[in-house]
Amino acid sequence: MIEIRNLHKSYGAQPVIRGIDLTITKGEVLCLIGASGSGKSTLLQCINGLEPIDSGQILVDGIEVHARGTNINQLRQKLGLVFQQYNAFPHLTALENVALAPRIVKGMSRAQARELAREHLAYVGLGDKVDAKPARLSGGQQQRLAIARALAMAPDYMLFGEVLDTIRKLKARGLTLIMVTHDIGFARESADRVAFFDQGHICEIGAARQVICEPREERTRQFLQRVLS
Amino acid sequence: MQFSLTPYAGLQWSDLWFILEGGLSTILLSVVSGAAGTILGCALGWLRERSPVFSWLMAFPVDVIRSVPLIIQFILVNSLFSALGVPLDPLEVGLLTLSLYMGMQTSELVRAGIRAVPVQLQKAGRSLGMTGWQVERCITVPLVLRTMLPAWIGTLIGLTKDTALVSVVGYIELLRAAQIVITRSNEALLILLGVGLFYFVICYPISKYGRWLEQRI
Amino acid sequence: MFDYAFYWSMVWAKFPMLLDGAFLTIQITVLSVVLGLLAAIPLALWRRNGKGALALFASAWIESARNTPALFQIYMAYFGLGAVGLHLSSYTALLIAIVFNNAGYLAEVLRGGLEGVAPQQAPAARSLGMNAFQSFTYVIFPQLFRIIFFPFVNQVNWALLNTSLGMMIGLRELTGATQMAQAESFRTFEFFLVAAGMYYVIAKIISLGALTAAWRIFRD
């Protein structure tokens, strides 16, 4: 379970997250929608500690992410992050990209890590590209590589920021998925809950169908109208 | 006329003039061998890219001139011509050697520039009915000049600094003039700093300009 | 006109002197590159990320090293420092000057490397659970190395050529030794031709070594 309590964050003088309370239960699929700059992607980066916070708390399975004594590297193994700009390591082949972290962070043997990498690359549909360098892969393929790389660490939660190919079969693996998306159709069909972000706080959150088809808040309605037309 | 720059005695205005003359010599050397070398290098580089035989022939000489210290090149040119009975004066040695050196460096830049022009552009030109010559003139040459300009500026600056080495065959350029005055007047630090400033004032703005050009391209 | 006879045997007689000079040349080259690199690392970092005084210091060093002749820097070390009471030997002065020079150029090479690695590589690695050391060693450094490799080798060559300036302050590295060796017999051309050949051989060894290293490390 991920708990976010009264989170505030600014970039310098610019407030980006203005008081967010959110609880994400295990196994659920949560989609974050909203205009750019409303804080969705920043929230994901705060959850895995890549961005510092100003006040509030984020707890992952009871461990406070931004507390001093927390072993953040260990925590990050539970949180898989796939962001469009966190691209592949260009100097390694696809296989080496996926096998690297399991080997050096989890201490797997080279052979084990490579086997694991092969499995995951096949899973995302890159089975025939194991020896290719990222420069030879298309944008979509590079993103699937990033997904395979994150999955290989066996996380409990996956955080997605604006991915191109969303992989729907990840739901079947029982992972908790938190994703930023502009694909309202996908959010409606595949998400359990949808949270609408407006200027740094959550304006409305609820069951996917409800928020998208029968939004309670006026701002949500305006946003959806603009986006869907 | 004796005018002391107090509190350091021994430095005269004539010394300053002597050093400035050295500065002019430096500039003369840089400009002339820079120009001659560039022309030589453009011809050389272009020929190398268009004629595989020529390229192969030139590979060794170019390599040698870029791998042997300039001081030794000056001494070799000087002693070779003396040995052959046609002694050159220091300025001639300097101009000849530096032009050759600049030519070799420039030729490598030109080659890199020509190689950087995508073949598709030349094909596009030909398919529009342009002749080979027209493609070279209107497409290749402008592109090559644009690509190599920043690097060429850098090479020119390097050449300016290398003129300081011609003193080894007796030519009195800026640094040598300074050294002579230092030995006479014992004002090493002051003179050296002045000379350093001279080089800096010439090289720094030009290199900044080169970097600015690089960003634009 | 061609009444000059080439006396190569005289060069051969003095060859050991040249060889000693060559060893000194190689020693200074290697030492100056290593020390120059060590100095270049903080310089590059300070220029990029340093605050005020450090960034200014780094810029001043880098720009004066790159915009003044190497010979000038050598004279500063030898005569300039001498004028303020610090009398260095030819060896030390040459070394200090070439280290100063190398550091300036290498700092720019490093800058190119740092700017060449996408800034998102580090967070990408960290988000997989790697710590800072692991992310640098396995992700950042390999990319950095590939970018700076050939410019770095160029700089080694540059340092080699600059050691010849030691002759101007009386040091008996290869060029200085050659100068001394030919002083008796005045066979200037022959002696310096051999010296030129030796420099060429050393330069070739360096580039051969670099190509071999490149082939082994960058197995693409």
Question: CB B123: neighbour CB atoms within 10 A?
Answer: 11
Least Cα distance to B94 among B175, B151, B206, B188 occurs for: B175
Alpha helices in chain C (DSSP H): 8-13, 15-49, 52-67, 70-75, 81-83, 90-116, 121-126, 132-134, 141-163, 174-183, 188-217
Rounded CA-CA distance B44/B54 in Å is 9
What is the rounded distance in angstroms from the CA atom of residue A196 to the CA atom of residue A215? 10
Query: Do residue C64 and residue B80 have CB atoms under 8 angstroms apart?
Result: no
Kindly report the CA angle at B195 between C62 and C108, in degrees rounded to 5?
10
Query: Given an 8 Å threshold on Cβ–Cβ distance, is C130 in contact with A89?
Result: no
H or E, element range at B98: helix B90-116
pLDDT at residue C59 in the model: 93
Reading the block at residue B141, the tokens are: 């040459």
Does an interface of 3+ CB pairs under 8 Å exist between A and C?
A: yes
Q: Across the interface, which of C3, C69, C189 has its CB nearest the CB of B161?
A: C69
Q: What is the mean pLDDT of residues A6-19?
A: 90
From chain C, pick out residues whose CB is under 8 angstroms from the CB of A133. 220
Q: What percent of chain A has pLDDT over 70?
A: 95
Q: How far is A108 from chain C (nearest CA, A)?
A: 14
Q: What is the pLDDT of residues C89-100, one digit of tens each?
A: 999 999 999 999
**Phi, psi (deg, nearest 5) at residue A202:** -85, 115
> From B87, which residue of chain C is nearest by alpha-carbon distance?
C1
Task: Give the C window 88-147 contacts with B, CB below 8 Å.
Answer: none
Q: Which of B95, B84, B85 is nearest to B32 (CA)?
A: B95
Q: Which of C118, C127, C220 sits opposite A76 (nearest CB)?
A: C127
8-state DSSP, A188: H
Show the tokens assigned to B20: 């400035």
pLDDT tier, C50 (very low <50, low <70, confident <90, very high otherwise):
confident
Assess whether pLDDT exceeds 70 at residue C5: no
CB contact under 8 A, B76 and C75: no
**How deeply is A3 buried, as exposed, middle or buried, from its count of CB atoms within 10 A (0-12, 13-18, 19+)?**
middle
Q: How does pLDDT run across C6-45, given as a tens digit for each residue?
A: 677 777 788 888 888 999 999 999 999 999 999 999 999 9
Give the one of A50, A91, A153 whose C-beta lies nearest to C142's C-beta: A91
DSSP 8-class letter at B164: G
Confidence of residue A224 (pLDDT cuts 50, 70, 90): confident
Name chain A contacts of C139, Cβ cutoff 8 Å. 89, 100
Question: Can you list the residues of chain B whose pLDDT is less than 50?
Answer: 1-9
State how far residue C157 is from chain A, nearest Cα, in angstroms.
Answer: 27
CA A88/CA A43 separation, integer angstroms: 22
Evaluate if residue A69 carries a pLDDT over 60.
Answer: yes
Backbone angles phi, psi at A8, to 5 degrees: -130, 135
User: Residues near B173 by Cβ (< 8 Å), separated by ≥ 6?
Assistant: B22, B25, B26, B29, B94, B163, B164, B166, B167
Q: Does C131 touch chain A (CB under 8 A)?
A: yes
Strand order of the β-sheet with A193-198 is A79-83, A157-161, A176-180, A29-34, A193-198, A201-207
pLDDT at res. A171: 67
C190 → chain B, closest CA residue: B76
Contacts by residues B57-62 (CB-CB < 8 Å, ≥ 24 positions apart): B58/B107, B61/B104, B62/B104, B62/B107, B62/B108
Residues in CB range of A146: below 8 A, 6 or more apart: A82, A83, A86, A87, A88, C124
CB C35 within 8 A of CB C43: no
Give the pLDDT confidence of C151-173 residue by residue, as tens digits.
999 999 999 999 999 999 988 99
Nearest to B200 by CA among C108, C61, C64: C64
What is the predicted pLDDT for the residue at C44? 93
| pLDDT at residue B7, rounded to an integer | 45
C71, B168: Cβ pair inside 8 Å? no
Model pLDDT, residue C4: 58
Cα A107 to the center of its chain, rounded Å: 25
Contact between A95 and C130 under an 8 Å Cβ cutoff? The reply is no
Query: How far is C-alpha C207 from the geometric centre of its chain's CA atoms?
Result: 14
Closest residue in C to B198 (Cα–Cα): C68
Q: B142-176 in b/e burial notation, b at 16+ Cβ within 10 A?
A: ebbeebbbbbbbbbbbbbbbbbbbbbbbebbbbbb
Task: State the average pLDDT for chain C.
Answer: 89
Determine the Cα–Cα distance for residues C203 and C174; give it in Å rounded to an integer: 13
Distance between CA C69 and CA C1 in Å, rounded? 38
Distance CA C28, CA C166 (A): 10
Most C-contacting residue of B8, B65, B68, B176 (CB-CB within 10 A), to test interface: B68
B72 with C168: Cβ contact below 8 A: no
Inter-chain touch C161–B157, beta carbons under 8 Å: no
Cβ–Cβ below 8 Å for C189 and B83: yes
pLDDT (tens digit, 9 = 90+) per residue, C110-144?
A: 998 988 888 889 889 998 989 999 999 999 998 99
**Mean pLDDT calculated for residue range C49-67:** 91
| CB pair distance less than 8 Å for C120 and A89 | no
Q: pLDDT (tens digit, 9 = 90+) per residue, A48-58? A: 888 899 999 99
Q: Pick the residue with more confidence: B179 or C3? A: B179
Q: Cα–Cα distance between A154 and A174 in angstroms, integer?
A: 11
Q: Stretch A107-113: mean pLDDT, rounded?
A: 91
Do the Cβ atoms of B188 and B182 come closer than 8 Å?
yes
Q: Which residues of A140-152 are buried (b: 16+ CB within 10 A; e: fewer)?
A: ebbbbbbbbbbbb
From chain A residues 106-125, the ones with a CB under 8 A of any chain C CB are none
Name, in order, each residue with C-beta under 8 angstroms of C107's C-beta and a sequence gap of 6 or more.
C40, C43, C44, C47, C58, C61, C62
The chain-wide mean pLDDT, for chain B, equals 86
Q: What was the ipTM of the complex prediction? A: 0.86
Pick the closest to residue C7 from C183, C191, C199, C200 (CA basis): C191
Degrees, nearest 5: CA angle C201-C202-C204: 65
The chains in contact with chain B, meaning 3 or more Cβ pairs closer than 8 Å, are C
User: Chain B contacts of C195, Cβ < 8 Å?
Assistant: 72
Contacts of A50 in chain C (CB under 8 A): 123, 126-127
E-state strands within A13-140 = 14-24, 29-34, 55-60, 63-64, 79-83
Alpha-carbon B124 to chain mean position: 36
Q: Which residue has the tokens 């094909």?
A: B123
User: C191 to chain B: nearest residue by CA?
Assistant: B76
Q: Output the pTM of the full model.
A: 0.79
Alpha carbon of A77: minimum distance to chain C alpha carbons (Å): 5
Element housing A2 (H / E): strand A2-11
Q: What is the mean pLDDT of residues C188-213?
A: 91
User: Do the chains contact at C131 and A150, CB–CB below 8 Å?
Assistant: no
In chain B, residues 56-95 whose CB comes closer than 8 Å to chain C: 63-64, 67-73, 75-76, 78-80, 82-86
A73: number of Cβ within 10 Å: 17
Chains B and A are in contact, defined as 3 or more C-beta pairs closer than 8 angstroms: no
- Of C197 and A189, the structure prediction assigns the larger pLDDT to C197
